[in-house]
Amino acid sequence: MTIYSTNGTPDPYNDMAPRKYGCINGYQFDHDEGETMTMEWSLICRKSGLGEMSITITMVGMCVGAVIFCSLADRFGRKPVAVITHIFMLTTSMAESFMPNLAAFAAVRFVTGTFQQGLGLSTAIMCMEMMPMEWRGFIGFIGSLNWSLCICSLAFFGYVMRNYSWRYLQIVLSLVSFHALFGPWILDESLRWLIANKKTKAAIWIIRKAARWNRKDPQRVLKLLDPEHDEMFRLKSDDSKLETLETNTYLPPDREAHSTVSDSINMQGPNAEKYTFLDIVKNRILLRNSLIVWYTWMVNSGTYYGLYLTSGSMSFGNRYLSFFINGLVEIPAALIYFVVIDRIGRKYTCVLFHGIAGVSLILSVALLSASRQDGDAAAVASLIFNYAGKLGISSSFLTIFIYIPELYPTNLRNVGIGFASAIGRIGGMMSPYSILLMQYATWAPGVLFGSCCLVAMVLMFFLPETGGYILPQTIEEMEKWTEEQSLCIPCTRSSDTPKKTNTEPD
């Protein structure tokens, strides 16, 4: 988009980094490349901050949705929340393209944000609970690849439709969610949630369905779900008993792994225990862990979205290319995550990637300042470190999506990740204003993001490792293996740390 001043001189205008102009009446827009929201609603001069405000309002909606729908998902199930929010998100996303003004658009974006978090977090938990412990990292890897490809495709669609109004682009992007209409028939409820909440008949139905699809015998699992077998309520994480629950109803015939049922049936009585957010506040260990992950998610959200929103200021001269490369960086980030997540554990993966992000972003700012004297070499190095920081924060964000739910017992899992996401959106709300901050101090966003990442890296040492451990069903189980793990580096872990359950032979 180009804005022409009153004397006919073209004045380059970057949507991602708005500049100040004297008077809107002294400018006219060039419509050769279609019409953007900035052009349609004249979001320049005194209105230049309203575009960022609409993003902040969306983040507020995501914050509200994370609290509301994650609590509902723990109480009523993952599937109904995922299905309903997906259908409503399709509806509101489509409605955005017909909004007559910015106020109406922002209001609908708020609603879309609430449904987006209900869908995103409930499906993330559902996917994690679907897989056995040794495959939970893999499902995060697949999700990250999908996210990266979607980001790249967004840049592609934006470029292809650059000569059309933003409303047509919004319609096209909304239609990607058309499969939401088939959700009630495609999705099944989380088996782990059904068992934890004593919905045995529904669990048996899903097991039989999975067995039919994979041509397996479901009896090895079904006999343990028989209400006449008291061991359903007494079974603990004893390796010999867990081996009897092996099943591969969800894997290809040539692969075998422990069933998700095997690491979830360890209840202590016939009544499923219900938890609320107050249980997090009242429990010392849960509260400590929660405060750390709340801060971490806030840092990740602010840094991640801040880097995306400032991508238009990178040295490629093309905002579509800059946005595409930012999405492309997430592919190697996912690959590195996949390599290390099960080798060094969730905690130390977070430590590693927060360290990479923090150091890289600070070095990027330092080199950018030096580039004014040393020329292009320092500028190129600054760009490389900026993308290294993007890689680090993308990988850490991916890791916490797997790590945080594992820190909470089953009936607090959605509430835990929901409140973490809600508080984390505070960082997302502030991220649009990093663009404006750059106008006053170009070094400030990088130093701020980098410093916060380094603080998060240190705080990660106070969290327990969850990789390779059976997901806790109750607060008592969570407390036990949290307290028995030591604070420091892996080689100093005490000998009485709970034994990991490993499906691979020694």
Choice among 41-45, 138-142, 209-213 with the minimum mean pLDDT: 41-45
| Dist CA 337 CA 352 (whole Å) | 10
| Dist CA 263 CA 174 (whole Å) | 38
How far apart, in Å, are the Cα atoms of 287 and each of 53, 64, 111, 345? Answer: 32, 21, 30, 22
| Dist CA 402 CA 430 (whole Å) | 25
Write down all domains in the chain, each with its CATH number in brackets: 2-44 (no CATH), 50-187+277-462 (1.20.1250.20)
Label residue 437 by pLDDT band (50, 70, 90): confident
Beta strands in 245-323 (DSSP E): none
User: Token pair 């075998």 is at which residue?
Assistant: 256
- Tens digit of each residue's pLDDT (9 = 90 or more) over 238-269: 434 433 433 333 333 333 333 444 444 444 33
Mean pLDDT over 469-496 rounds to 63
User: Helix (H, G, I), strand (E, B), or coil: what is residue 4?
Assistant: strand
Pick 221 or 3 by higher pLDDT: 221
Pick 496 or 385 by higher pLDDT: 385
- Tens digit of each residue's pLDDT (9 = 90 or more) over 9-48: 444 334 444 344 444 455 666 656 667 777 778 777 777 7
Mean pLDDT of the chain, nearest integer: 76
Closest CA to 99 of 46, 45, 171, 175: 171
Label residue 218 by pLDDT band (50, 70, 90): confident
| Dist CA 56 CA 14 (whole Å) | 19
- Tens digit of each residue's pLDDT (9 = 90 or more) over 50-97: 777 888 888 889 888 888 887 788 888 889 999 999 999 999 999 999
Q: Cβ distance 50 to 42 under 8 Å? A: no
User: Does the pLDDT of residue 379 top 70, yes or no?
Assistant: yes
Where would I find the H helices in 77-101? 78-96
User: Token pair 């997906």 is at which residue?
Assistant: 86
Residues paired with 2 in a beta bridge = 12
